[in-house]
Amino acid sequence: MSEAAMHKRDLRQETAPLRAQILDRLSQLPWDGVRYSHSIPGLSLYRVTGPTGPFSSLSEPSLSLILKGSKRVKVGNETLLYDESCFFVTAIGLPMTGQICEASEGEPYVAATLRLDLEKLRRIITDYDIQPADMPERDLGVVVGAATPELFDALSRLISLVNAPADIPFLANHVQNEILYRLLTGEQGARLRRFALTGTNSNRVAKAVAWLKENYARPLRIEELAEVANMGVSTLHHHFRAMTAMSPLQFQKHLRLHHARELMLSQSIDAATAALRVGYESPTQFSREYRRAFGHPPIRDIRAILNSSEPNRRDSIN
């Protein structure tokens, strides 16, 4: 067994009592399908009873912790696998494909996702002068790191507030700040710090990503995007691909396809209309690229989702 595999095994064993405690608490909640509704800001809880995917989603900055099971995530040409021994952080909004590898009624996949507030990250870094060890700056915009007992302990206390709603306004913010602090002072803290702070290449690319998400239907001029990021064109290409595993043009295409799919599902419009709304001039090109991304032509894909009995087919499950 490799040293990395042994470390993951040790982490799973070390956090097993905490995860069992959280799972026991979650098993007593009144779940409504895949998700459990509650009033803790920024926290999503998932319980899936069968293998799923691959399903497409447009992520937001967030932390995901798996309490039971494993998940495969594809970002661009990069594929990542994580389980109970890992946390998964996406520091910028990225189009990605996920797949839950194993799940059943008796052994469900259970996970929690906490939305990341980058302004809170910046305040913690500034207020406590957090200076983690430096790392090379060419980073993918998603991070997989060690899920420590401290992270699961904080998550347990956050989830316990489900049964104490009067305490949520005061305590939830404190526990969430603790989780951010643990991330910033942990093994991947340097990467998160660079995403949060202005002036770094990671932060500049994050600005370009945010602009693309707001303007995905417009024709893409790379010079305009480079100006938004305050970077040279070649430098932007270099760091954009490093962070997203895609070129800006590929990223825009994924955004367009994702939004077109959402339009067809939510508004019952046809593929040609959806294609025009998200910026495609050729319905034929749209259909070809849609099939390449989702595995089926638009009509067939949408019909399969709408007719599916699986409650998670239309959800982004973290």
Q: Which two tokens stand for residue 221?
A: 């001029």
Who contacts 81 (Cβ-Cβ below 8 Å, separation ≥6)? 70, 71, 72, 73, 101
Pair (22, 147) in one structural domain:
yes
| Predicted local distance difference test score (pLDDT) of residue 289 | 95
* Sequence-separated contacts (24+) of 119-126 with Cβ below 8 Å: 120/176, 120/177, 120/180, 121/180, 121/184, 121/192, 121/193, 121/195, 121/196, 122/196, 122/197, 124/177, 124/180, 124/181, 124/184, 125/184, 125/193, 125/196, 125/197
Pair (146, 159) in one structural domain:
yes
Please check whether residue 50 is in contact with residue 310, taking contact to mean a CB–CB distance below 8 angstroms.
yes
Structural domains of the chain, count: 3
CATH of the domain at 19: 2.60.120.280
Pair (70, 189) in one structural domain:
yes
| Predicted local distance difference test score (pLDDT) of residue 2 | 80
Pair (238, 263) in one structural domain:
no
Pair (38, 151) in one structural domain:
yes
Q: Is residue 316 part of a domain?
A: no
Q: Is residue 313 part of a domain?
A: no
Q: Which domain holds residue 96?
A: 3-196
Q: Is residue 318 part of a domain?
A: no
Separation in Å, CA 110 to CA 40, 153, 301, 317:
18, 16, 27, 10
Please check whether residue 102 is in contact with residue 53, taking contact to mean a CB–CB distance below 8 angstroms.
no
**3-class SS of residue 56:** strand
CATH of the domain at 294: 1.10.10.60
Q: Which of 79, 140, 164, 73 is nearest to 111 (CA)?
A: 73
Please check whether residue 198 is in contact with residue 212, taking contact to mean a CB–CB distance below 8 angstroms.
no
Who contacts 1 (Cβ-Cβ below 8 Å, separation ≥6)? 9
Pair (70, 89) in one structural domain:
yes
Q: Is residue 315 part of a domain?
A: no
| Predicted local distance difference test score (pLDDT) of residue 221 | 96
Looking at the chain, list the stretches that DSSP marks H as alpha helix, in order from N- to C-terminal side.
Answer: 3-27, 118-128, 149-160, 168-185, 189-196, 201-214, 222-229, 233-244, 248-267, 271-277, 283-294, 298-307
Q: Which two tokens stand for residue 43?
A: 């926290």
Pair (178, 217) in one structural domain:
no
Query: What strands, in cross-sheet order, belong to the sheet with 109-115?
Result: 43-48, 109-115, 62-68, 86-90, 142-146
| Predicted local distance difference test score (pLDDT) of residue 316 | 53
The parts of the chain modelled with pLDDT lower than 70 are 132-139, 309-318
Pair (216, 286) in one structural domain:
no
